[in-house]
């Protein structure tokens, strides 16, 4: 039998039922309506448009979840994933990827097509106008494209967080982690900054850490904080302490997971809306090599860019080493901030998995990764020789870590990229893996448990 | 050391482990021959391919470049005959398959390792040759099951072992109704004590499986075209089904060695150094049968990790560091639908005269802990766990050192390996122990790696 013939055709029992089909149709309808708004066709008032869009997406996801899991006993629910067009890079996946990508391109570079300031006297029309009522209610001004995006983003995390919660109902670790990441998005990434803006204070997400938050040290942001009294100074001190003091201590104690799968907004989306795509990450050795080069290059870029921006801020000179710091930061924003983290990072979920940005691009993750690799108490321990090399752990690792490589040798897993989502320990059919915080050394009673004969040096 | 040509027949876990370690220890030329697949894959993951959790490529523990890089030659073919006198293998030239590594007509060797594995045992029931009847051992079986279980109304599984429950779970994952016929009064009762066997049976039924205990098959029924239509039990009951998995165990795959001069019984007869009666010829893994098995262990061991230990031990011997088979404390694990199962040490299905047992079960029937200890001297002999994870190293140490039951119970948290935030079943066990004995012990409070290390390093 040839190995290629193992690509088994789509078996019908994994298909969706009528309710789920209806739910998917509802989502499709909302997408169509969104593009109608974008194309300038306004069938309903902004308020009705808002409820149609958010309502359809929410109902769609909840109905789908209910039908998918209602009869499933507690346990792993990965049946049929590799037979699904949407989840296994089929036609639906490419369509979804295209829609996400188009949306991001319009959002970042052509917000006027979404209706930003396209009405009379610079008022909004179309999609963004649909969010005006909500924006006025929260902060007393018209919606921006970022308010619209932030609202959608938070809603996606909340609704898909419910789905994830139901999927992992049996796992306290998954429930706590998901509750945390949803809370930090809703409270710190969305509500508090919007309210701050309504109070004429600087927009600030207290947990959006530099250099993920690459504009933290930009002149306008620094100036805004310096001009905002005690709270502004607190924001400045907190932001610096977060990256220099708080995060190294927390990473030493718990690994980078405290941020990368419990707090960060990118994780919020990746672990909820992105969870169904986690198995698409590339596990090859080559991908790991690319990952190390790329993420550390972005970190260097971020540090150099920030240093130049700060030099300009203090010296008042825009030219640093023959380069205009404004140009450098504009390029960083375009290449890394928008293209990498947004268009590729989320737009490509259905093709490359849900952690492309976190794995290959995020400079904050790079810093935490170095800390995790070299001085953290956190690691995944392997239970003796119990591993049967099945490959579930590696397949479902969103960061593309070949967990099995270590587990089958009885080794602990200490990798810079591990975000501690804990799904490997969930899907392991033999209970071989455990996320643990222990003594911060490479201490291990027996290092390679499967080696049955010690002390033999080959001739 | 003079370099030798080492041929290994079989690319399962035993043969591949031997190849890897021979390469690690020496520069011998290593050739691995397989009929089944070009590359090593994890047989334990077959069920997950059918269920759509993984694709075939995910079940390969090493990337395809690994073999070339490590100078392990691969050949795809069927050995028809072995010329032991001239140390030569003859391949079946009529075996045609799409492969990257087609085998030549013959191959010379200096050392031969037979690691040919198992095949499903075939009972003598009438109708066994009907279409849609199969065991499940290799990729060919999986593909057969894929084809013949498509579009059926009901599937039948005969035989209550670990492969049987896998086949039941596989079909259940595609919403195919399953009748599961088991000879014992509860599933796996020939291995598990009554309480655990009942819990496993309840779990099987909770997943909608029609589990029929105390049921034996008399005949497989087929229609005029020779396709299975059901089975008839020894009690005359008729059970319909268009596919039948027959999983009454496996036996060594050694048919091609009959009358070859190699001494065979059920398997290839070997001593504790894996040596057969022919010089330079070894046998390891499922196909081997110890002439004098280690007391308390079986003469044929068909476990993943025993195959791995055999492969590694033999590699030492071949590379000049002669070692006998020393598998240490027995352990095994499995998963019964949603419930994980682990065993360390001796847990017979019926408690014998010189052992006592302590058994705790959770209220929801999903978790249990059993510890057996010596009735005269009080040391622990084994752990049996359902839905609870314990550390192998700790359990092994307690059994090896003949630790007293009371000491084990008071230190039980050191063995706890369940996820962070999970309930603490070992505490409920300790409380029950205290009630039963009418004593108060002072258990260690915390669990986790630090506690485990402390306990391991203490002598």
Residues B292 and B437 in one domain: no
3-state helix, strand, coil in chain B (%, to 5): 30, 25, 45
Identify the pLDDT of residue A440: 58
CA distance B438 to chain A (A): 33
- Spatial contact of A177 and A262, defined as CB atoms under 8 Å apart: yes
Q: Does B457 touch chain A (CB under 8 A)?
A: yes
| Cβ separation A6–B55 shorter than 8 A | yes
pLDDT at A455 over 60: no
Identify the pLDDT of residue B125: 97
What is the phi/psi pair of residue B207, to 5°?
Answer: -95, 20
| Cβ separation A452–B313 shorter than 8 A | yes
pLDDT at A130 over 60: yes
Q: Does A385 touch chain B (CB under 8 A)?
A: yes
Instruction: Tell me which of B318, B345, B372 is where a domain ends.
Output: B318
Nearest CA in chain A to B170: A79
Q: How far is CA B14 from the centre of its chain?
A: 12
Of A4, A392, A438, the CB nearest to B450: A438
State pTM to two decimals: 0.94
pLDDT band at residue A352 using 50, 70 and 90 as cut-offs: very high
Residues B335 and B453 in one domain: yes
pLDDT band at residue A15 using 50, 70 and 90 as cut-offs: low
Residues B453 and B356 in one domain: yes
Strands B178-181 and B155-158: parallel
66-105 in chain A: CB under 8 A from chain B: 73-76, 78-84
**CATH assignment at residue B398:** 3.30.390.30
| Cβ separation A458–B319 shorter than 8 A | yes
Please calculate the CA angle A191-A196-A202 and round it to the nearest 5 degrees: 125
pLDDT at A459 over 50: no
- Whether omega before A211 lies within 30 degrees of 0, making that bond cis, reads yes
Q: With a threshold of 0.85, tell me whether the complex ipTM lies above it.
A: yes
CA distance A24 to chain B (A): 21
Identify the pLDDT of residue A135: 95
Identify the pLDDT of residue A447: 43
| Cβ separation B56–A438 shorter than 8 A | no
**CATH assignment at residue B265:** 3.50.50.60
The three-class DSSP label of residue B396 is helix
Identify the pLDDT of residue A443: 53
pLDDT at A252 over 70: yes
| Cβ separation B340–A12 shorter than 8 A | no
Please list the alpha-helical segments (H only) found in B29-106. 46-50, 65-69
Q: Does A35 touch chain B (CB under 8 A)?
A: no
Q: Look at residue B324 and tell me if it is in a domain.
A: no
Identify the pLDDT of residue A221: 94
| Cβ separation A2–B97 shorter than 8 A | yes
pLDDT at B28 over 50: yes
Q: Hey, where are the domains in chain A?
A: 15-71+82-169, 285-364, 375-437
354-373 in chain B: CB under 8 A from chain A: 366
Q: Look at residue B125 and tell me if it is in a domain.
A: no
Q: Does B55 touch chain A (CB under 8 A)?
A: yes
Chain A residues inside the 8 Å CB shell of B392 = 383-386, 449
Inter-helix orientation angle A219-226/A229-241, to 10°: 130
| Cβ separation B419–A434 shorter than 8 A | yes
The mean pLDDT value of chain A amounts to: 90
Chain B residues inside the 8 Å CB shell of A394 = 58
Strands A323-324 and B79-83: unpaired
Q: Look at residue B326 and tell me if it is in a domain.
A: no
Identify the pLDDT of residue A362: 97
A375-437: CATH number:
3.30.70.20
Chain A interface mutation, best of B3, B20, B25, B54, highest count of A Cβ atoms under 10 Å: B54
**Could you write out the three-class secondary structure of chain A?**
CCHHHHCCCCCHHHCCCHHHHHHHHHHHHHHHHHHHHHCCCCCCCHHHHHHHHHHHHHHHHHHHHHHHHCCCCCCCCCCCHHHCCCCCCCHHHHHHHHHHHHHHHHHHHCHHHHCCCCCHHHCCCHHHHCCHHHHHHHHCCCCCHHHHHHHHHHHHHHHHHHHHHHHCCCCHHHHHHHHHHHHHHHHHHHHHHHHHHHCCCCCCCCCCCCCCCCCCCCHHHHHHHHCCHHHHHHHHHHHHHHHHHHHHHHHHHHCCHHHHCCCCHHHHHHHCCCHHHHHHCCCCHHHHHHHHHHHHHHHHHHHHHHHHHHHHHHHCCCEECCEEHHHHHHHHHHHHHHHHHHHHCCCCHHHHCCCHHHHHCCHHHHHHHHHHHHHCCEEEEECCCCCCCCCHHHHCCCCCCCHHHHHCCCCCECCCCCCCCCHHHHHCCCCCEEEEECCCCCCCCCCCCCCCCCCCCCC
221-280 in chain A: CB under 8 A from chain B: none
Nearest CA in chain B to A4: B56
Q: What is the pLDDT of residues B92-124, one digit of tens each?
A: 999 989 999 999 999 999 999 999 999 999 999
The three-class DSSP label of residue B73 is strand
| Cβ separation A6–B56 shorter than 8 A | yes
Q: Look at residue B235 and tell me if it is in a domain.
A: yes
pLDDT band at residue B353 using 50, 70 and 90 as cut-offs: confident
- Spatial contact of A267 and A157, defined as CB atoms under 8 Å apart: no
Identify the pLDDT of residue A359: 97
- Spatial contact of B157 and B245, defined as CB atoms under 8 Å apart: yes
Residues B204 and B303 in one domain: no
| Cβ separation B53–A449 shorter than 8 A | no
CA distance A6 to chain B (A): 6
CA distance B336 to chain A (A): 9
pLDDT band at residue A189 using 50, 70 and 90 as cut-offs: very high
Q: Domain range for residue B396? A: 331-457
Q: Does B272 touch chain A (CB under 8 A)?
A: no
Identify the pLDDT of residue A442: 55
pLDDT band at residue A445 using 50, 70 and 90 as cut-offs: very low
Mean pLDDT over A39-48 rounds to 88
Q: Look at residue B128 and tell me if it is in a domain.
A: no
pLDDT band at residue A454 using 50, 70 and 90 as cut-offs: very low
Residues B95 and B184 in one domain: no
Q: Does A179 touch chain B (CB under 8 A)?
A: no
Distance CA A6, CA A165 (A): 33
Identify the pLDDT of residue B352: 82
Nearest CA in chain B to A13: B174
Mean pLDDT over B389-411 rounds to 96
Residues B27 and B101 in one domain: yes
Chain A residues inside the 8 Å CB shell of B151 = 12
pLDDT at B157 over 60: yes
Q: What is the pLDDT of residues A83-118, one digit of tens each?
A: 999 999 999 999 999 999 999 999 999 999 999 988
Q: What is the pLDDT of residues A257-287, one digit of tens each?
A: 999 999 999 999 999 999 999 999 999 999 9
Q: Look at residue B401 and tell me if it is in a domain.
A: yes
| Cβ separation B173–A80 shorter than 8 A | yes
Q: What is the pLDDT of residues B252-288, one digit of tens each?
A: 999 999 999 999 999 999 999 999 999 999 999 999 9
- Spatial contact of B115 and B8, defined as CB atoms under 8 Å apart: yes
Identify the pLDDT of residue A42: 81
Instruction: Tell me which of B248, B270, B298 is where a domain ends.
Output: B248
Identify the pLDDT of residue A441: 53
Alpha carbons within 13 A on the beta-carbon side of B17: 26
- Spatial contact of A289 and A402, defined as CB atoms under 8 Å apart: no
CA separation, residue A165 to residues A64, A162, A170, A378, B129 (Å): 14, 5, 9, 24, 47
pLDDT band at residue A320 using 50, 70 and 90 as cut-offs: confident
Q: Does B333 touch chain A (CB under 8 A)?
A: yes
Chains A, B: CB contacts under 8 A, how many?
A: 201
The three-class DSSP label of residue B162 is helix
| Cβ separation B305–A83 shorter than 8 A | no
Instruction: Tell me which of B248, B273, B295 is where a domain ends.
Output: B248
pLDDT at A151 over 80: yes
Identify the pLDDT of residue B337: 96
Chain A interface mutation, best of B53, B101, B324, B458, highest count of A Cβ atoms under 10 Å: B53
CA separation, residue A162 to residues A59, A354, B318, B388 (Å): 12, 18, 57, 27
Mean pLDDT over A194-220 rounds to 93
Distance CA A67, CA A52 (A): 22
Nearest CA in chain A to B336: A429
Q: What is the pLDDT of residues B112-156, one digit of tens each?
A: 999 999 999 999 999 999 999 999 999 999 999 999 999 999 999
pLDDT band at residue A14 using 50, 70 and 90 as cut-offs: low
Identify the pLDDT of residue A39: 86
Distance CA B41, CA B60 (A): 4
Distance CA B315, CA A458 (A): 11
Identify the pLDDT of residue B452: 87
Chain A residues inside the 8 Å CB shell of B335 = 429-430
The mean pLDDT value of chain B amounts to: 96
């Amino acid at each position: 039998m040839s190995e290629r013939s193992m690509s088994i055709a789509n078996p019908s029992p994994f298909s969706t039922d009528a309710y789920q089909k209806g739910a998917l149709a509802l989502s499709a309808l909302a997408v169509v309506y969104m593009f109608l708004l974008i194309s300038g066709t306004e069938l309903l008032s902004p308020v009705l448009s808002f409820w149609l869009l958010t309502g359809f997406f929410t109902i769609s996801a909840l109905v789908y979840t209910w039908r998918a899991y209602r009869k499933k006993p507690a346990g792993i629910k990965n049946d049929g994933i590799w037979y699904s067009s949407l989840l296994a890079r089929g036609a639906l996946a490419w369509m979804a990827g295209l829609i996400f990508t188009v949306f991001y391109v319009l959002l970042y570079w052509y917000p006027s097509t979404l209706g930003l300031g396209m009405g009379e006297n610079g008022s909004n029309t179309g999609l963004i106008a649909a969010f005006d009522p909500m924006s006025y209610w929260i902060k007393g001004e018209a919606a921006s494209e970022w308010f619209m995006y932030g609202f959608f983003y938070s809603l996606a995390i909340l609704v898909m967080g419910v789905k994830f919660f139901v999927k992992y109902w049996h796992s306290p670790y998954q429930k706590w982690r998901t509750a945390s990441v949803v809370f930090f998005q809703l409270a710190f990434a969305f509500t508090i900054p919007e309210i701050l803006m309504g109070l004429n204070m600087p927009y600030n997400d207290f947990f959006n850490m530099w250099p993920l938050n690459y504009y933290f040290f930009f002149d306008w942001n620094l100036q805004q904080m310096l001009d905002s009294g005690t709270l502004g100074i607190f924001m400045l001190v907190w932001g610096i302490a977060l990256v220099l003091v708080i995060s190294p201590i927390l990473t030493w104690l718990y690994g980078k997971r405290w941020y990368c799968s419990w707090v960060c907004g990118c994780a919020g989306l990746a672990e909820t809306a992105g969870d169904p795509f986690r198995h698409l990450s590339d596990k090859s050795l080559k991908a790991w090599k690319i990952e190390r080069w790329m993420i550390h290059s972005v970190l260097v870029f971020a540090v150099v860019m920030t240093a130049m921006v700060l030099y300009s801020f203090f010296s008042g000179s825009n030219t640093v080493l023959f380069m205009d710091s404004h140009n450098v930061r504009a390029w960083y924003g375009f290449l890394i901030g928008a293209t990498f983290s947004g268009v590729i990072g989320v737009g490509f979920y259905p093709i490359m998995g849900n952690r492309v940005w976190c794995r290959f691009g995020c400079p904050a993750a790079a810093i935490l990764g170095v800390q995790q690799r070299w001085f953290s108490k956190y690691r995944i321990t392997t239970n003796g020789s119990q591993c049967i090399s099945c490959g579930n752990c590696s397949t479902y690792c969103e960061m593309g870590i070949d967990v099995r490589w270590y587990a089958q040798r009885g080794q602990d897993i200490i990798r810079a990229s591990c975000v501690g989502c804990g799904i490997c320990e969930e899907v392991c059919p033999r209970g071989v893996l455990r996320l643990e915080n222990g003594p911060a050394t490479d201490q291990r009673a027996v290092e390679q448990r499967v080696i049955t004969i010690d002390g033999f040096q080959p001739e | 050391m003079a370099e030798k040509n080492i041929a290994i027949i079989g690319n399962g876990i035993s043969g591949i482990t031997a190849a890897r370690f021979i390469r690690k220890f020496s520069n011998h030329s290593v050739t691995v021959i397989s009929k089944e697949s070009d590359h090593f894959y994890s047989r334990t993951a077959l069920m997950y391919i059918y269920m759509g959790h993984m694709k075939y490529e995910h079940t390969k523990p090493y990337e395809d470049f690994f073999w070339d890089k490590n100078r392990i030659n691969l050949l795809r073919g069927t050995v028809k005959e072995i010329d032991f006198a001239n140390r030569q293998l003859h391949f079946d030239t009529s075996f045609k398959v799409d492969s990257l590594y087609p085998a030549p007509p013959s191959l010379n060797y200096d050392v031969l390792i037979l690691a040919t594995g198992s095949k499903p045992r075939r009972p003598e029931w009438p109708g066994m040759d009907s279409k849609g009847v199969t065991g499940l051992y290799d990729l060919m079986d999986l593909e057969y099951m894929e084809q013949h279980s498509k579009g059926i109304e009901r599937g039948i599984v005969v035989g209550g072992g670990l492969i049987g429950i896998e086949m039941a779970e596989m079909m259940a994952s595609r919403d195919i109704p399953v009748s599961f016929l088991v000879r014992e009064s509860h599933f796996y009762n020939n291995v598990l004590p009554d309480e655990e066997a009942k819990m496993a049976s309840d779990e099987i039924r909770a997943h909608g499986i029609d589990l029929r205990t105390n049921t034996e098959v008399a005949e497989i029924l087929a229609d005029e075209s020779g396709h299975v239509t059901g089975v008839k039990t020894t009690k005359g009951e008729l059970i319909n089904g268009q596919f039948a998995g027959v999983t009454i165990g496996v036996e060594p795959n050694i048919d091609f060695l009959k009358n070859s001069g190699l001494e065979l019984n059920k398997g290839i007869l070997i001593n504790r150094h894996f040596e057969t009666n022919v010089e330079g010829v070894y046998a390891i893994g499922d196909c081997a049968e110890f002439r004098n098995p280690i007391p308390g262990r079986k003469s044929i061991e068909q476990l993943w990790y025993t195959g791995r230990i055999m492969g590694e031990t033999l590699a030492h011997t071949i590379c000049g560091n002669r070692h006998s088979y020393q598998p240490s404390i027995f352990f095994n694990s499995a998963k019964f639908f949603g419930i994980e199962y682990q065993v360390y040490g001796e847990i017979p299905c019926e408690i014998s005269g010189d052992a006592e047992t302590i058994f705790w079960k959770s209220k929801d029937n999903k978790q249990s802990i059993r510890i057996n200890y010596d009735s005269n001297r009080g040391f622990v002999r084994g752990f049996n766990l359902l839905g609870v994870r314990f550390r192998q190293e700790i359990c092994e140490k307690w059994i090896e050192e003949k630790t007293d039951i009371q000491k084990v119970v008071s230190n039980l948290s050191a063995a706890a390996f369940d996820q962070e935030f999970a309930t603490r079943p070992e505490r409920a066990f300790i409380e029950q122990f205290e009630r039963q004995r009418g004593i108060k012990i002072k258990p260690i409070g915390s669990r986790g790696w630090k506690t485990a290390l402390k306990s391991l390093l203490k002598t």
